[in-house]
Amino acid sequence: MRSYPAGVRARKLAEEYPVVDLDADAIEAARLLATHRLPGLVVTDGRTGKPYTILPASQVVRFLVPAYVQDDPSLAAVVDEPLADQVARKLTGHRVRSMLPSTPKELPVVDADDTILEVAAIMARLRCPLVAVAEGNAVLGVITAARLLEHALASA
Amino acid sequence: MRSYPAGVRARKLAEEYPVVDLDADAIEAARLLATHRLPGLVVTDGRTGKPYTILPASQVVRFLVPAYVQDDPSLAAVVDEPLADQVARKLTGHRVRSMLPSTPKELPVVDADDTILEVAAIMARLRCPLVAVAEGNAVLGVITAARLLEHALASA
């Protein structure tokens, strides 16, 4: 028998993770991703306080790529337009909301009392690298796939 | 005019990133993900040395979720089978190769001499959080979306 701590719940594995509001400044969100080298941010809806979606860092990069390059990627090799020039144009004065894809990916939310197997099952089914852990309307934190593996390996 | 350094190439932004071979030990790969809290590992093909795919941490989690729970996720709430019990069963004695999805996602590979805009265009098009940077057969490192943003913001 393994000495797995009985009844470990999502609450115990939840960790702090940067959260931004839908109406937060776009450039601040980009800085948060860059400074902490994050693959994405949790976006909450300020009206409800609930986790709403993930803003992937790759989506912000996408937002910075000029439209004519997105239309014809081969142009990227021959034009000499630095990505940095797009920062002021695309991010300054904009909000997180406008950087999201037109149909934002749903952020999986688990309950603080869900079991670790439930969390793993959701992560496996949606192939998502992290889930938000909520208690009522409050986001307690997130559980990443790597954190889940750490827990499973430590208990094995 | 912005003082963007002219001619910045992928080589300059490439960073070290854990790489495992297709035939590496599955449990070692899981440990690498857990210890460094990575969203994924770069997998190389030992025969060619070339970057082959990404092993996402969520895929390893998926590998650990019992088949009957994958088939019927509602069972996760009612069974009391710790994820840790699956570690020995599913990972010990297995190789990275066997954890990959049946059609592994192609890892975008850019050339060390590609421009930053080319890297961004590929990342944007494939919506991927990182690309491998290669020079010939050798992997110099990776560029994550967050690193690309850091560069763009610093140069803006």
Instruction: Render pLDDT for A52-73 as a digit per residue (tens, 0 to 9).
Output: 999 999 999 999 999 889 888 7
Q: Which of B6, B57, B116 sits opposite A146 (nearest CB)?
A: B57
For residue B48, the distance in angstroms to the closest alpha carbon of chain A comes to 27
Which position has the token pair 């197997």? A117
Cβ-Cβ contacts under 8 Å, A8 against chain B: 82
Number of separate helices (H) and strands (E) present in chain A: 8, 6
Q: What percentage of chain A reaches a pLDDT higher than 90?
A: 59
Cα–Cα distance, A147 to A134 (Å, whole number): 17
Q: What predicted TM-score, i.e. pTM, was given to this entire model?
A: 0.85
More reliable by pLDDT, B129 or A10: A10
Answer whether A33's CB lies under 8 Å from A49's CB. Answer: no
Cβ-Cβ contacts under 8 Å, B83 against chain A: 116-117, 120, 148, 151-152, 155
Quickly count: other Cβ atoms within 10 Å of residue A1's Cβ: 4
Answer whether B39's CB lies under 8 Å from A56's CB. Answer: no
Range A78-99 average pLDDT: 87
Would you state the pLDDT for residue A4? Answer: 41
Q: Which of B4, B38, B152 sits opposite A146 (nearest CB)?
A: B38
What is the ipTM for the molecules in this complex? 0.86
Answer whether B87's CB lies under 8 Å from A24's CB. Answer: no
Would you state the pLDDT for residue B1? Answer: 42
